[in-house]
């Protein structure tokens, strides 16, 4: 079964750091671009970051640029999001998602909640 499972969310104080992980299974992880998308409570979807299959191309939303770092380990079938200098507005459910062809995100994880609060 094709599956993405996020982990690493939790409660963190403003200015703190957190590292999210996304474990992939059921497909050749190294062949796909991967992404992080977040959704603040009661709000819409926000694209956060993308990484190409070989990590050659990386993109970030302006709202997280300089604070978040996306990475992947194809040997471990895993995607990561290192989040530093966290702010209250980063509070959201964070989803990892697969991009098969540059035209859609076809597989999504169940999400992991990140709460930034003192």
The binding site for other proteins (CB under 8 A) comprises: 35, 37, 44-47, 50, 59, 61-62, 95, 101-106, 108-111
Q: How far is the CB of 118 from other proteins (least distance, A)?
A: 27
Strands 112-116 and 10-12: parallel
Closer CB to other proteins, 17 or 110, in the complex = 110
Tell me the C-alpha distance between 95 and 112, whole Å: 7
Q: How far is the CB of 22 from other proteins (least distance, A)?
A: 12
Helix (H) or strand (E) holding 60: strand 58-60
């Amino acid at each position: 079964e094709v599956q993405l499972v996020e982990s690493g969310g939790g409660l963190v104080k403003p200015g703190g750091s957190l590292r999210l992980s996304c474990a992939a299974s059921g497909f050749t992880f190294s062949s796909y671009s991967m992404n992080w998308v977040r959704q603040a409570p009661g709000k819409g979807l926000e694209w956060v970051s993308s990484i190409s299959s070989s990590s050659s191309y990386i993109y970030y939303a302006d709202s997280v640029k300089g604070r978040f770092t996306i990475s992947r380990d194809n040997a471990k079938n895993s995607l990561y999001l290192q989040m530093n200098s966290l702010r209250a507005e980063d509070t959201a459910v964070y989803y990892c998602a697969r991009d098969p062809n540059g035209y859609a995100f076809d597989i999504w994880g169940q999400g992991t909640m990140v709460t930034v609060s003192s």
